[in-house]
Amino acid sequence: MAEQKAEAKLSAGQRSKIRRLAAPQELSADDEAGELNIVPFLDMVVNILMFVLATVAVTFTATIETTPPSSGGGKVRIERADKALNLTVIVTNDGVALKAAGGNISTGCDGVGPGITFPTKNKGPDGEPVLDADAITECVRKLKDSSPDFKEETQIRITASNNISYRKVIECIDAVRKDKNGNDMFPDVLFGVPR
Amino acid sequence: MPPDPKAPHVASIAQFKAALRKAKRKNEHEPEINFLNITAMLDMMTIILVFLLKTMASSSGAIPQSKDLALPASVLQTEPHQEGVAVVITKSQILVGDDPNPVVVLPTRESLAQSGLDAKYKKAGINDLHIVPLANALLSVRELDKQIRMAKGLDPNSSEAIVIVDETTPYRLLMEVLFTLGQSSFGKYHLMVLSSKKPKT
């Protein structure tokens, strides 16, 4: 009622002016286009992000810790040398030979005796011997279990012929590192230079 | 004189303003949001992208796999060691640190597999393991690394090296490089391999 009274006091011109001034203002064309269209840029960023994440996922690396190589018949560095297995793996073109403190491991891992422990049966496409990693792992496990004195021994010496590739050496290191149950055998690797 | 009842009503300025404010309030409405504001998300994604690119660039795990350098696969799943001087042996050259210029350009695999590098690179003939150009390159790198180790409070008497070797590298060349590193006061090496569940044969 009071409002009607107040409005009643306004003249027609005043009411018209109020309607004009109170009307909601439309945005100008410039104001509507003020938001930057960043969608293409966003697409590009998302694509690059996906590419980076996908690339990172395929290059997982690890490092094998070792020390300078020693030449000749250097022994495994442990405190009780008299109770050490002193295992050495020799990779040649003819196969893999294992040598312990007690002597050379015979063919087939049947105790001490002459011959190459695991003779090469066939060669790969690169002309290098195909290693029987499972047999090496089994033999090393057997040798380590042969005495409780060897339980704490973790070092092994790896030696190879001049032409044996780094890949074969790593295969050998993998074969002696853990047994098939995942238990540590010889995780510490020392390299030897062949005489 | 009394006001003329037939004369038109004219409101005062105060009344006019009050009526205008009231009309404006009545016509007011919340602004309609007809677009999604993704600026904040874009900021976040750009920061993540820059962070990832910087991390990848500085990580030693970012080894470019190419025809000239392919790392061997290993079952090892440990974290790669990050600190140390990088020594790279590819199929064609030996590189030290961040220097893109090769220290030694390698001959064919066949000649390397027999007796390693040529005698011209050695100190005492072809049977020697000491590679002179590599030792010279390591000398300056070792000095820098010594300063860094001292600043970090680490033992400056011996440096560490991250050895990145192509999988086809002959054992003889690997031993020559490791031996030369040993002679240049590098006492610990980290041989880089690719982590995989089962290595390729």
Smallest CA-to-CA distance from A151 within A184, A102, A108, A118 is with: A184
What's the DSSP call for residue B9? Answer: P
A74 found inside a domain: no
pLDDT value at A18 more than 80: yes
B172 found inside a domain: yes
Residue A1 binned pLDDT confidence (cut-offs 50, 70, 90)? very low
Q: Using a CB-CB distance cutoff of 8 angstroms, which residues of chain A are in contact with residue B35?
A: 35
Number of domains in chain A: 2
A156 found inside a domain: yes
Q: Using a CB-CB distance cutoff of 8 angstroms, which residues of chain B are in contact with residue A123?
A: none
Nearest Cα of chain B lies from the Cα of A180 at a distance, in angstroms, of 12
B42 found inside a domain: no
Chain A and chain B share a number of CB contacts under 8 A equal to: 197
Instruction: Give residue A83's pLDDT.
Output: 74
- Residue by residue, DSSP assigns B123-190 as SSSTT---BHHHHHHHHHHHHHHHHHHHHHTS-TT-EEEEEEE-TT-BHHHHHHHHHHHHHTTEEEEE
Residue-averaged pLDDT of chain A: 80
pLDDT value at A32 more than 60: no
A121 token code pair: 């049966």
pLDDT in tens, B103-129: 989 888 777 877 788 888 888 888 888
Query: Within an 8 Å CB–CB cutoff, is residue B102 touching chain A?
Result: no
Mean pLDDT over residues A58-77, rounded?
Answer: 70
Residues A51 and A88 in one domain: no
Residues A36 and A87 in one domain: no
Nearest to B52 among A9, A52, A170 (CB): A52
Instruction: Give residue B198's pLDDT.
Output: 60
Number of domains in chain B: 1
- Best A25, A61, A130, A177 member to test B by mutation, with max B CBs in 10 Å, is A61
pLDDT in tens, A101-130: 888 888 888 888 888 888 888 887 777 888
Query: Within an 8 Å CB–CB cutoff, is residue B82 touching chain A?
Result: no
Q: What's phi and psi for A65, nearest 5 deg?
A: -85, 135
Instruction: Give residue B173's pLDDT.
Output: 92
**SS3 for A158?**
strand
pLDDT in tens, A79-90: 455 678 888 999
Residues A51 and A86 in one domain: no
Q: Provide the chain A residues 76-105 that lie in CB contact (below 8 A) with chain B.
A: 91
pLDDT in tens, B40-87: 887 888 888 888 877 766 655 556 667 888 889 888 888 888 788 899
B46 found inside a domain: no
Residues A140 and A101 in one domain: yes
B34 found inside a domain: no
Nearest Cα of chain B lies from the Cα of A9 at a distance, in angstroms, of 5
pLDDT value at B200 more than 50: no
Percent of chain B with pLDDT strictly greater than 90: 21
Residues A96 and A149 in one domain: yes
Nearest to A170 among B61, B74, B81 (CB): B74
Q: Is the ipTM of this complex over 0.85?
A: no
Q: Which of A35-39, A128-132, A186-190 has the lowest mean pLDDT?
A: A35-39
Residues A124 and A184 in one domain: yes
Query: Would you give the end-to-end CA distance of chain A in angstroms?
Result: 116
A114 found inside a domain: yes
Residue-averaged pLDDT of chain B: 82
Instruction: Give residue A19's pLDDT.
Output: 85
Nearest Cα of chain B lies from the Cα of A111 at a distance, in angstroms, of 28
More reliable by pLDDT, B34 or A121: A121
Query: Within an 8 Å CB–CB cutoff, is residue B56 touching chain A?
Result: yes
Nearest Cα of chain A lies from the Cα of B34 at a distance, in angstroms, of 11
Instruction: Give residue B187's pLDDT.
Output: 87
pLDDT value at A133 more than 50: yes
pLDDT value at A16 more than 90: no
Distance from C-alpha of B138 to C-alpha of B136, rounded to nearest angstrom: 5
pLDDT in tens, B13-33: 888 888 888 888 887 776 666
A112 found inside a domain: yes
- Residue by residue, DSSP assigns B41-93 as HHHHHHHHHHHHHHHHHH-TT-PPP-SS--PPEES--SPPP--SEEEEE-SSE
A66 found inside a domain: no
Smallest CA-to-CA distance from B122 within B108, B138, B110, B104 is with: B104
pLDDT in tens, A146-179: 888 888 888 999 999 988 999 999 999 999 998 8
Mean pLDDT over residues B158-183, rounded?
Answer: 91
Residue B171: give the domain boundaries: 63-195
B38 found inside a domain: no
Distance from C-alpha of B187 to C-alpha of B124, rounded to nearest angstrom: 23
Counting DSSP H helices and E strands in chain A, the numbers are 6, 8
Question: Which chain B residue's Cα is nearest to A40?
Answer: B42
Residue A6: give the domain boundaries: 2-56
Percent of chain B with pLDDT strictly greater than 70: 84
| Other CB atoms within 10 A of residue A13 CB | 10
A14 found inside a domain: yes
**B189 contacts A160? CB cut-off 8 A:** no
B189 found inside a domain: yes
A165 found inside a domain: yes
Nearest to B191 among A7, A49, A66 (CB): A66
**B46 contacts A62? CB cut-off 8 A:** no
Instruction: Give residue B59's pLDDT.
Output: 59
Instruction: Give residue B133's pLDDT.
Output: 92
